[in-house]
Homo-oligomer: A and B are copies of this chain.
């Protein structure tokens, strides 16, 4: 039992170490020796858990998608409208991108042409945003002349842009910047200002916890 716990912990440490290198250096530069060194794990232990760099990358993407799915679910359950859930999800996502190397690496791997055949995270994020916007439409929350598809394109493009720019300049992941985006977008998107939408999301204090604590290399 103790052995199983230790194995699970080693596996998780490897995933986070790989994510840190994928996020900072890109998929290509990440070597298995660099990952095992960063994780403080022998290369034998790495190969026990993961057959290849690609399988590590797939695991990072799966964990990133799972983190964002949970984050979106939490926002959906807490927000009073689908549009507010969308705002909260993107605000939290940007904070998590800044704090959590696994989520950052998941999005980065998805837009990295050197990792052929990725882009799953991209399609999946597109689907999630589209779902929230069509739910908002059904609930009468969207302005009558807004196409849910066009609004989805704008929100997905902008969040990917925050992520891409944030890789080079962290100012793009600041809460104020995504709030500026929503302050600009919401009067166009919402059917009525009376929905009381908050462009700043659910607040920094509550938001930092899921990403910040979820993925850290224990021994780094």
Contact = CB atoms under 8 A, between A and B. Distances in A.
A115 to B, nearest CB: 9
Majority secondary structure, A binding face: helix
Interface in A9-58: 23-26, 28-29
A26 B112 contact: yes
Contacts of A185: 154, 188
Name, among A146, A150, A177, the residue most crowded by chain B CB atoms within 10 Å (CB to CB): A150
Name, among A123, A153, A181, the residue most crowded by chain B CB atoms within 10 Å (CB to CB): A153
Contact of A165 (B26, B28, B145, B156): B156
Interface string A152-180: 01101111111111011100100001001
A124 interface: no
Give the interface size bracket for A toward B: 35 or more
Contacts of A217: none
Interface string A127-160: 0000000000000000001110111011011111
B169 A165 contact: no
A195 B154 CA distance: 22
B153 A157 contact: no
Given A158-B158, A180-B149, A114 B164 contact: no
Interface of A: 23-26, 28-29, 110-114, 118-119, 122-123, 145-147, 149-151, 153-154, 156-165, 167-169, 172, 177, 180-181, 183-185, 187-188
